[in-house]
Amino acid sequence: MSNRQESKALRMGCTIGYGIGAIGEGIGYNVFFSFFSFFLTTVAGIPPAVAGVISSVAVLWDAVTDPMIGSWSDTTRNPKGRRRPFIMTRSVLFGVSIAMVFFNFDIPVGLKTVYFILANGFYWIALTSCVIPHISLGSELTDDFNERTKLRSCAVTLMGIGTLIATSSTLLLVKFYQGVFGSESAGWAATGITFGVIVALVYHLCCFAVKNLEPANPNLAEPARKKPWKETLAIFLRSAKRAFQNKALSLLIVVNFSYNVFVTLSSGLLVYVLSYVFVYDEAQTSMVYLVQGILVILTAILAGCVANKTDKKTVMTGSMLLTIIACLIIGFFPSKSVWLYTYVVIYALGNSGFWTMIYAMSYDSAILEQIETGKKPDGLYTSLIGLFMKFGNALGTLIMGFGLQLIGFSSESETQTEATVQGIKRLFGIAPSIVILVGLIAAIAYPLTKAKYIELQGVLKAKENAGR
């Protein structure tokens, strides 16, 4: 008997309950990519190039473990389900890790570097162990093309709330806690703890909301057998090889890698642009992030509606074009608020469209292997997308760190030279736009349209009926 869930409309409570977990993802990613390098260079006193290396080393380590965690989630025999047990336990670790990366100790720079590398490694392992099963859970709730889009649209909308919380309140929270505890370092530490508590809470709320909706663990139907580690590794490698032979998934991996180099650069450099190019204070900077966050929430809903009326591929390519235009505006237009907010609107449209589509499209690509093998490798596929996302993140942080070093950014000075300020502006406009072009070409070549997916669903259903 097939373990595949019949296509049906999801209840609104299920859709929203699942999406609540994405608030934690939005907080975790955005507080890190928007502020961690800024924290290292302006509070912890780490040189920009070293800050880039700290982030990239930890992200690369985590990237290696992504597929293993996804495969582990796919093959677990936990009677409570394949995804929820991971989410509930790992979300606590995820919360703790967010607090750890924003602790600044009064120790030599060399020891600080070691600490931040270790704290970063723990952060990324905890994040992946929570986020990958949560994203994979979405594919367990429905296999309908449009329902999956709706599910991911809701998740991205609520992830936008997490993004809004992280980006618009971070500097204000730091300032508030600094007044309470008397130092900037204590302000950052207290802010990290606050975000950590929120992250653990929203993931637990998600698990409660979908408690009786996750399908029974299909692995329990097979006899229990402890596999030697060599056999487990061989199974994983065969599964990964088969996944890379899926053209649709391979192109999505290229798209995702390119886009995450871009988004790491643009999100990480934005706080430098606001602080040194536009010379905004904490309140003005937070307002920019607030507007951007609200727009991301609103446009995620729009992206889902457009995708259901047209096609996910259309939304994906259009979104990537918009993000290129947005960064070029900052890089080459006058540094005036009108152009900054023009960037915010266009970037929000592009960024929310991309994140609404990428995981929904990875769910769809798994149908090709499901037809061939009868298995649903959604955890593996999601983790492979995550693997190359992290490779992109690592390269983006490295480029940002060395880019800031090359243009003369000083971590020891509160003000920067005019040449450095113009360098930040150009770095923001040019570097992200170049790397995303490769992904745009891959997105245009993506073959799995809505019509093709519906055709493949018919093939899968016919095969399952023949096997009964």
Which of 132-153 are b and which e, b meaning 16 or more Cβ less than 10 Å from the residue's Cβ? bbbbbbbbbbbbbbebbbbbbb
**CA 39 distance to own-chain centroid:** 20
Residues 6 or more apart whose Cβ sits within 8 Å of residue 388: 63, 253, 254, 256, 257, 260
CA distance 346 to 296: 10
CA distance 206 to 84: 9
| pLDDT tens-digit map of 125-184 | 898 888 888 887 877 777 776 777 778 778 878 888 898 899 899 999 999 999 999 999
Q: Name which residue leads in pLDDT, 86 or 82.
A: 86
| pLDDT tens-digit map of 86-111 | 888 889 999 999 999 999 988 888 89
Indicate whether 328 pLDDT > 70: yes
Mean pLDDT of 117-125: 89
Mean confidence (pLDDT) of the chain:
84
Half-sphere exposure of 124 (CA within 13 A, CB side): 26
Q: Is the pTM of this model over 0.75?
A: no
CA distance 47 to 436: 27
How much is the pLDDT for 2? 39
Mean pLDDT of 116-133: 88
Structure confidence at residue 232 as a pLDDT band (50, 70, 90):
low
CA distance 349 to 343: 10
Give me the sign of the Cα torsion angle 425, 427, 430, 432. negative
% the chain with pLDDT above 70: 88
Which of 365-403 are b and which e, b meaning 16 or more Cβ less than 10 Å from the residue's Cβ? bbbbbbeeeeebbbbbbbbbbbbbbbbbbbbbbbbbbeb
How much is the pLDDT for 333? 93
Q: Strands of 75-233 (E only): list them.
A: none
How much is the pLDDT for 318? 93
Q: How many residues does the chain have?
A: 468
How much is the pLDDT for 412? 75
> Which of 14-28, 382-396, 434-448 shows the lowest mean pLDDT across its residues?
382-396
CA distance 198 to 156: 17
| pLDDT tens-digit map of 11-50 | 888 889 898 999 999 999 889 988 998 999 999 989 998 9
DSSP 275: I
Residues 6 or more apart whose Cβ sits within 8 Å of residue 224: 77
CA distance 26 to 6: 30
Phi-psi region of 182 (alpha: psi -120 to 50; beta: other; left: phi over 0): left
**CA 89 distance to own-chain centroid:** 20
| Residue with the two structure tokens 């006193």 | 45
Mean pLDDT of 75-80: 67
